[in-house]
Homo-oligomer: A and B are copies of this chain.
């Protein structure tokens, strides 16, 4: 089984950006943390600050991966093109947020991605990615 983990704008700054909210681990450390939980699952990682690059990646991933985990960063709140892309591709997409977006600024409570995601996990830090991958593996085995 093959999973793609996509991180959106500013998530390359993990560990340096508001550590009280996002933790002290760098993105590389988070990715290693995630991989440590999965022996049999092939996991690729992709980060970009470019909405267009994420769209290109999602399109390309459509025939390659069995599931996708995405943390869209701030694109969550306005990037309807991401909404359309997720709706358009074949593999199920899990939406993950490191922090509890409902406990922060009001603009963060709207997700244009959530209506087309297979499921959403928020507020659990890096462990949220682990659970999202578990969900994808679970449904791949058990069916929907």
A interface with B by C-beta (< 8 Å): 8-10, 12-13, 16-18, 48-53, 55-56, 59, 73-75, 77-81, 83-85, 87-89, 100, 102-103, 107, 111-112, 114-124, 127-128, 131, 134-135, 138-139
Closest to A52 in B: B50
Closest to A132 in B: B131
Is B59's CB under 8 angstroms from A12's CB? Answer: yes
The A interface, classified by DSSP as helix, strand, loop or mixed, is helix
Q: Which residues of B contact A123 (CB under 8 A)?
A: 117-120
Of A85, A117, A124, A127, most buried by chain B (CB within 10 Å of CB) is: A124
Q: Which residues of B contact A103 (CB under 8 A)?
A: 114-116
Kindly state the separation between the CA atoms of A11 and B55 in the bound complex, as whole angstroms: 11
